[in-house]
């Protein structure tokens, strides 16, 4: 085993939520009469902390309006959340990695309450040793989530691997000195991910599972 600790992003990496997130961002803007970001702009913010996400998705949005946008976003997302599926093969992959002896963790732009709800909806909570969310520490692309997880779980940069679907995941890993693998089936285009030189850029959970089996 080369990497004792495997840290997964959540949205767009393990669960097929990127499209729902984009739709909910756009719907919140429509509700409030704000400029509606296109798909590319809305998907770019997936994984970021709240302030960074809103500042990019809706340029010029006054901080006093953040609460209204968040309220409308949550209204739409909570209605869809229970039906958002894991990517096919995700649970089997994670169970196999745990059985093999890897320690699994999550680093996500979700809130703690949002991740707790998602883990309960999917039944995956028992597979993960720990997690960090955007409202617990400095969010991606800062290294804090990975640094805190490594400190808590007793691992070092050389035996930790980050797996994610956005440039924010890869930048966080680079800032923490942790190697990373990208998946191109989530929020960000493959070309953007490849530009940050991950160890690999996989196109399906099946490809990711095979890569981890051979290399992790």
Catalytic, 16? Answer no
Rounded alpha-carbon distances, angstroms, from residue 25 to 37, 46, 70, 106, 211 = 8, 10, 9, 23, 33
Classified as helix, coil or strand, 40 is helix
What residues contact residue 85 under an 8 Å CB cut-off, 6+ apart?
15, 16
* Among the listed residues 86, 89, 123, 95, the one whose alpha carbon sits nearest the alpha carbon of residue 205: 89
Interstrand relation of 130-132 and 103-107 (parallel, antiparallel or unpaired): parallel
Catalytic, 9? Answer yes
Q: Which two tokens stand for residue 74?
A: 């949550």
* Among the listed residues 110, 139, 99, 111, the one whose alpha carbon sits nearest the alpha carbon of residue 14: 110
Catalytic residues: 9, 11
């Amino acid at each position: 085993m080369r990497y004792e600790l495997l840290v997964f992003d959540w949205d767009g990496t393990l669960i097929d939520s990127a499209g729902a997130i984009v739709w909910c961002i756009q719907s919140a803007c429509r509700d409030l009469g704000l400029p509606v970001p296109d798909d590319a702009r809305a998907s770019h913010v997936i994984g970021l902390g709240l302030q960074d996400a809103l500042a990019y998705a809706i340029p010029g949005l006054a901080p006093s309006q953040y609460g209204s946008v968040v309220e409308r976003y949550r209204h739409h997302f909570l209605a869809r959340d229970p039906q958002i599926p894991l990517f096919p093969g995700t649970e089997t992959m994670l169970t196999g990695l745990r059985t093999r002896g890897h320690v699994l963790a999550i680093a996500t732009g979700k809130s703690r309450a949002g991740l707790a709800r998602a883990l309960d909806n999917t039944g995956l909570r028992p597979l993960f040793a720990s997690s960090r969310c955007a409202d617990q520490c400095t969010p991606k692309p800062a290294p804090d989530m990975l640094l805190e997880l490594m400190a808590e779980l007793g691992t070092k940069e050389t035996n930790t691997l980050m797996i994610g679907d956005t440039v924010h995941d890869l930048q966080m890993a680079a800032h923490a000195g942790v190697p990373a693998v990208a998946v191109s089936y989530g929020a960000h285009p493959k070309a953007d991910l490849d530009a940050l030189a991950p160890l690999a850029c996989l196109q399906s959970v099946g490809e990711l599972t095979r890569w981890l089996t051979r290399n992790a």
